[in-house]
Amino acid sequence: MRTNVRRNVAAALASALAVTALAACGTSSSGDDKPQASGSSTDAATPLDPKAKVTISIDCMPPAAKAAELKEWKEDVAEFNKTYPNVTIEGRSTPGQCLEPPRFTAMLKAKSQPDVFYAYFTDLQQVLDNDGAQDVSAYVTPASVPALGDIDKSVMDVLRRDGKLYGVPTSNYTMGLLVNRKLFQQAGLNPDNPPRTWEEVRAAAKKIAALGNGVAGFGEYSVENTGGWHYTATMYGLGGDIVGPDGKAAFNNATGRQIVDNLRAMRWEDDSMGKTQLLKWGDLQKQMASDKLGMFLAAPDDITYMVQQLGAKYENFGMGPIPGGAATLAGGNGYMFKKGSSPDQIKAAVAWLNFKTLTIGKGQFQYDRSKADGLPVGLPQPAFFTGAGKAKDDELKAASATMPVANFKPFLDNPVPGKPEPVKAQEVYKVLDKVMSGVLTNKDADPAQLLGEAEKSVNQVLGNQ
Amino acid sequence: MSAPTLPRDSRAEFVRAFKRNLTAHGFLIGAVLCFSFFSWYPMVREFLLAFQKTEGGATRWVGWDNFRYVFADPNVWQAWRNTLLFTGLALLLGFLVPFVVSLVLNEFRHAQGYLRLLVYLPVMMPPVASILLFKYFYDPGYGLFNRALEFLHLPAQDWLQSTDTAMLSVVIASTWMNMGGATLIYLAALQGVPGELYEAAELDGAGLLRKIWHVTIPQTKLILSLMLLMQLIATMQVFVEPFLLTGGAGPEGSTTTVVVLIYQYAFSFNQYGGAAALGLCLLVLLAGFSALYVRLSRDNEN
Amino acid sequence: MAERTLISPAQLGRTRGKILYWTVLVLVVAGFTLAFLGPLYWMVANGLKSTEEFAQVPPTLVPDSLHTANYEAAWKVMDLAKLLFNTLYYALGALAFQLVLDVAAAYSLSRLRPVFGKAVLGMMLATLMIPATVLVVPQYLTVLDMPIIERNLLNTPWVIWLPSVTNAFSIFLLKRFFDSIPQEILDAAAIDGASALRILRSIVLPMSRPILGVVSIFAIVGVWKDFLWPMLTLPDPALQTLNVGIYSLSTGVPENHLIAALAMASAPTLVIFLIFQRNIMSGLTAGSLKG
């Protein structure tokens, strides 16, 4: 009997090997066996050896639906390859948003990110927790990125941890109040002077909602963490904070209460926020693009989104600073470099990103080409250049502007200091979603209770570091 | 080669048995491997995860910490309440409606095929498409349902946007999507009820309801209880409907179910330990129902 | 018509009975048509509306003008052809794996009866007691880094195909069916010297068509309807299933385009269902009823 069992085990193992081999041969090797460059140099300071063949995969290439941007991407790759014929850029595209948080988390867990991967500024902690990004401090220098000196230091700092740099920015934003100019005019409001305080927002929303036909004056999110995100933005505008310096929830106070009370008044007393609630990112854009919504808090690139994906027109939108104007939620995105990339890959990637996203007059900043391709020029985003770089960029931008830049004048002329997102932002936002959905769906919601419960939950989240 | 001490016959017997086993295990091994990798090992891992915590790449044992954390989270209790509410409503609607529908359909001598087809149509749609459709129908502004209520001069509802009706709305959508299967099963069961029993009941002067109560239900009891348990097990694990209809939250978190919370713990907040601890609680609860199901279906066999 | 049901034929035969019967019938037919075909009509019609007309309050019942371009745009932007193909590819692969591995396993457990066979069957059936959603987290962590073979199965079809084999219910159905095949038939073949594989192929499988049909439908429907698992394990947009693809693109397109996409996504299975309705419906009920 014993031999019997042993033989059976042997037979089992043999078939097991067959099956595992079967499974293994079809699996993607997700970055385990990178094409190793020949003649590569490990010294970060030396420029990329032109003889070294390098392939880098990179995500957030424009999808087919964004035809003009894809065309520019291809042109840029071709031009880049004139200088760097040895670098092969493997673009990966995503229809819709480049980054969806659950998908991004899964990607990090699986270490299946491309060599150069798109990330939000707020993702850095998560990326580092998963040991996903390479320290590129030695690679990003004024030599490899000539415009480095002109890039806002506070923006670069967001991508640093313990003095090490983990990425380069490609865009950044600060939030403001996006308005539908058509509805403003119809309601007898001045679209060149958007509301600057929440009292003004409320009054304007009331007038816009009075247009009828399902038009809402002001819109807010309340699910999928976007509600909490906007609560935070509103809080910053009013000079408040979400997480205090002591690491505890700091929103259950008069300012926090004021936000809730104001939303409650607009939603239930004025009925100026529409009936449809439980909205998330994408929903308000759809409403505004179809002229059903007067105002909402947004970053400038929401306008591009509405024009390109939803068929709206630029001249229809304008922007003002965030109501309150004390501080505004700042964020952005950039590229990070997968841990384990070879020095040549990082050099190639920095060279490409420098060309595509950080050179004034080139790549994303080649405004005359964008104009010729029918892409928007004139949006106040990205806005990470300072000093002479900013002046040059603004000049080029103005020369090729395709949209009435004057519509953003209130936003640009009243710069509000940017403020980064709170720690554990997504978990905190999830909790604050409840405050938003509570006040927006329940006429009798008790603001004190909503905020009290949220404070308790947020403290629990923050305590579980 | 050492000489075997076995007599010739039994040696041949042994070789035959050995060959038979070799073949048998060869047939079995593919499935066993899949089960090992994707069922048995994850099952063990679920238990381990519940008592571990991973931070910055290092995993350590934390005893009951994950459970303590989970039960201190007010969202967890809300999620259990929501799940029980969903289960209760889903059983009320999802269990009763198909049964009544099948009772009615079974009486029809016409159009039965057409009606069966209709009831089953939603089952064949991609669930995400059905759910997104309902999301449009529920819209309090331009949504179809409030239009219909208006047409009937009934007051408009907030559907997904009120803590009172959000879960009910989720259940209605879920019932529409899933009732086809249960209806067909009940229809098949009803066809097995001997007609003489109804005749006998009529001779005793039984009315419609009494016939249902004293003949139909006892005759289909086993199928009914099996389906009840199956739906209980399935509805306690509801995820897609609340996740897509209400962003997994709903007004003030009133549609966050246990499985939605497990998903959020694991995939939004990176707390695999909390997710596993909560999962383990659900597992213990549902394993009880499953055991009952297995026993009942064994009775069904005999 | 011979079957006697709840309401006696005598009652139905009376004039009052007849009136009542037809009233109820007409009401139910109308109600069901509205409840089950209505949404489908709404979907097709709203997919044809212009953006302005879609957002109009009150909404129109019949589109004022037909914008078939919505369908073209949705098809292209959401890349529905690819999503449909992906889903079909995963479903057929899962079907093949289940048919080969689960049938072999069930046959072995039923007829070849290896040592430990009972224990293996017991452990397989035990998985039925574990709620599937609970296992998603550890399963996900497992496929990220497969033990022993040290591969990451994410973004590969294996991540759908191989776990689909762990369908204890199908193995149970198959085994029970194989148990019911008379032993004499198999013995006769065995005496002729046929191997186990040959017996399975030429005798057992041809006899098992009905149960194979049931198991096949379960396999395909399982992949077709699944959402959470493919969402987690196939994050690459080029590899997504129809359900996940529609979900992740739903925010990025105008409403009328999205609805057009929903209509197109629903069409293939609805058509297949209308053609094979008898087989599908009887297969599914038979399977569940006996379970």
> What part of B 4-23 touches A (C-beta under 8 Å)?
14, 17-18, 21-22
pLDDT digits (tens, 9 = 90+) for B135-144: 999 988 778 8
- The answer to whether the CB atoms of B25 and A12 lie below 8 A apart is yes
The pLDDT of residue C287 is 56
- Compute the average pLDDT of residues A165-191: 95
In degrees rounded to 5, what are phi and psi of residue A321? -70, 165
The pLDDT of residue C291 is 37
Interface test mutation site (partner C, options B34, B93, B239, max chain C beta carbons within 10 A): B34
- The answer to whether the CB atoms of C36 and B39 lie below 8 A apart is no
- Compute the average pLDDT of residues A363-372: 93
- Which of A58-62, B23-27, B171-175 is predicted least confidently? B23-27
pLDDT digits (tens, 9 = 90+) for C20-48: 999 999 999 999 999 999 999 999 999 99
The pLDDT of residue C71 is 93
Which residues on B lie below 8 Å from A442 (Cβ)? 162-163, 251-252
The pLDDT of residue A16 is 41
Bridge partners, A87 (sequence order): A54
Query: Quick check: A7 contacting B, CB < 8 Å?
Result: yes
**Residue among A96, A107, A110 minimizing CB distance to C252:** A96
Beta strand pairing call for B52-55 and A418-419: unpaired
The pLDDT of residue C161 is 96
- Which of A65-79, C127-141, C183-197 is predicted least confidently? C183-197
Interface test mutation site (partner C, options A1, A9, A28, A29, max chain C beta carbons within 10 A): A28
The domains of chain B, with CATH numbers, are 66-301 (1.10.3720.10)
Q: What percent of chain A has pLDDT over 70?
A: 90
pLDDT tier, A100 (very low <50, low <70, confident <90, very high otherwise): confident
- The answer to whether the CB atoms of A95 and C155 lie below 8 A apart is no
> What part of A 23-82 touches C (C-beta under 8 Å)?
23-24, 26-28, 30, 64-65
pLDDT tier, A28 (very low <50, low <70, confident <90, very high otherwise): very low
- pLDDT, mean over chain A: 86
- pLDDT, mean over chain C: 87
Pick the CATH number of A54-174+331-399 from 1.10.3720.10, 3.40.50.2300, 3.40.190.10, 3.40.190.80: 3.40.190.10
Helix (H, G, I), strand (E, B) or coil at B143: coil
The pLDDT of residue A22 is 39
Please name which of A320, A383, A356 lies closest in space to residue A173, comparing C-alpha atoms: A383
Which residues on B lie below 8 Å from A437 (Cβ)? 249-253
Please name which of A238, A233, A232, A99 lies closest in space to residue A178, comparing C-alpha atoms: A233
pLDDT digits (tens, 9 = 90+) for C79-96: 899 999 999 999 999 999
**Residue among B23, B195, B240 minimizing CB distance to C228:** B240
Contact B57, B145 (CB under 8 A): no
Q: Is the predicted pLDDT of residue A176 greater than 80, yes or no?
A: yes
- The answer to whether the CB atoms of B38 and C3 lie below 8 A apart is no
Q: Cis link prior to C237 (omega < 30° from 0)?
A: no
- The answer to whether the CB atoms of A5 and C158 lie below 8 A apart is no
- Which of B12-16, B297-301, C265-269 is predicted least confidently? B297-301
Q: What percent of chain B has pLDDT over 70?
A: 95
pLDDT digits (tens, 9 = 90+) for C192-207: 878 888 888 888 899 8
Q: Is the predicted pLDDT of residue C5 greater than 90, yes or no?
A: no
Closest chain C residue by Cα to residue B143: C59
Beta strand pairing call for A216-218 and A293-298: parallel
Interface ipTM > 0.95: no
Touching B (3+ Cβ pairs <8 A), the chains are A, C
**Residue among C247, C250, C269 minimizing CB distance to B125:** C269
Q: Is the predicted pLDDT of residue A296 greater than 90, yes or no?
A: yes
The domains of chain C, with CATH numbers, are 9-67 (no CATH), 78-252 (1.10.3720.10)
Query: Quick check: C289 contacting B, CB < 8 Å?
Result: yes
The pLDDT of residue A36 is 41
Highest-confidence segment of B37-51, B68-82, C112-126: B37-51
Q: Is the predicted pLDDT of residue A134 greater than 60, yes or no?
A: yes
Highest-confidence segment of A25-29, A351-355, B190-194, B230-234: A351-355
Half-sphere exposure at residue A63, Cβ-oriented, CA atoms within 13 angstroms: 18
The pLDDT of residue A8 is 41
pLDDT tier, B88 (very low <50, low <70, confident <90, very high otherwise): very high
Q: Is the predicted pLDDT of residue A383 greater than 60, yes or no?
A: yes
- The answer to whether the CB atoms of C237 and A309 lie below 8 A apart is no
- The answer to whether the CB atoms of C235 and A106 lie below 8 A apart is yes
The pLDDT of residue C3 is 67
- The answer to whether the CB atoms of B30 and C29 lie below 8 A apart is no
**Residue among A23, A214, A309 minimizing CB distance to C158:** A23
- B177 backbone φψ class: left, alpha, beta (φ>0; ψ -120 to 50): alpha
Query: Quick check: A288 contacting C, CB < 8 Å?
Result: no
> What part of C 103-162 touches B (C-beta under 8 Å)?
104-105, 107-109, 112-115, 117, 120, 123-125, 127-143, 146-147, 162
Residue C61 is classified by DSSP as S
pLDDT tier, A25 (very low <50, low <70, confident <90, very high otherwise): very low
**Residue among A101, A131, A457 minimizing CB distance to B268:** A101
- Compute the average pLDDT of residues C154-183: 91
Q: Is the predicted pLDDT of residue C120 greater than 90, yes or no?
A: yes
pTM of the model: 0.84
Query: Quick check: A445 contacting B, CB < 8 Å?
Result: yes
pLDDT digits (tens, 9 = 90+) for A236-272: 999 999 999 999 999 999 999 999 999 999 999 999 9
Copy the structure tokens of residue C62: 């019949």
The pLDDT of residue A38 is 41
Touching C (3+ Cβ pairs <8 A), the chains are A, B
pLDDT tier, A102 (very low <50, low <70, confident <90, very high otherwise): low
CB pairs under 8 A between B and C: 273
Contact A283, A224 (CB under 8 A): no
The pLDDT of residue B7 is 61
Contact C95, C284 (CB under 8 A): no
Q: Is the predicted pLDDT of residue A26 greater than 50, yes or no?
A: no
Q: Is the predicted pLDDT of residue A307 greater than 60, yes or no?
A: yes
Please name which of B266, B252, B186, B247 lies closest in space to residue B219, comparing C-alpha atoms: B186
- Give residue limits of the domains in chain A: 54-174+331-399, 176-329+417-463
Closest chain A residue by Cα to residue B18: A4
CA B132/CA B138 separation, integer angstroms: 10
- Which of A33-47, A103-117, A347-361 is predicted least confidently? A33-47
- The answer to whether the CB atoms of A223 and B69 lie below 8 A apart is no
Bridge partners, A180 (sequence order): A317
Collect all residues from C whose CB is shorter than 8 A from any CB in A: 51-52, 54-57, 76-79, 114-115, 140-141, 144, 146, 148-149, 151-158, 162, 231-233, 235-237, 248-255
The pLDDT of residue A13 is 39
pLDDT tier, A96 (very low <50, low <70, confident <90, very high otherwise): low
- The answer to whether the CB atoms of B279 and C107 lie below 8 A apart is no
Secondary structure E strands in A154-254: 160-161, 164-165, 167-174, 176-180, 216-218
Q: Is the predicted pLDDT of residue B281 greater than 50, yes or no?
A: yes
Pick the CATH number of A176-329+417-463 from 3.40.190.10, 3.30.70.260, 3.40.50.2000, 3.30.70.3270: 3.40.190.10
A28–chain C nearest CA distance, Å: 7
- The answer to whether the CB atoms of B28 and C130 lie below 8 A apart is no
Total Cβ atoms within 10 A of residue A431: 26
Helix (H, G, I), strand (E, B) or coil at B55: strand
Long-range CB contacts (< 8 A, 24+ apart) of A445-453?
A445/A264, A445/B252, A447/A257, A447/A260, A447/A261, A447/A264, A448/A257, A450/A260, A450/B252, A451/A251, A451/A252, A451/A256, A451/A257, A451/A260, A452/A252, A453/B74
Residue A426 is classified by DSSP as H
The pLDDT of residue C148 is 85
Contact C234, C241 (CB under 8 A): yes
Task: For residue A404, give every residue at least 6 positions away whose Cβ sits within 8 Å of its Cβ, in sequence order, or none.
Answer: A314, A315, A378
Query: Quick check: C248 contacting B, CB < 8 Å?
Result: no
Q: Is the predicted pLDDT of residue B1 greater than 80, yes or no?
A: no
The pLDDT of residue A23 is 39
- The answer to whether the CB atoms of C112 and B283 lie below 8 A apart is no
CA C17/CA C30 separation, integer angstroms: 20
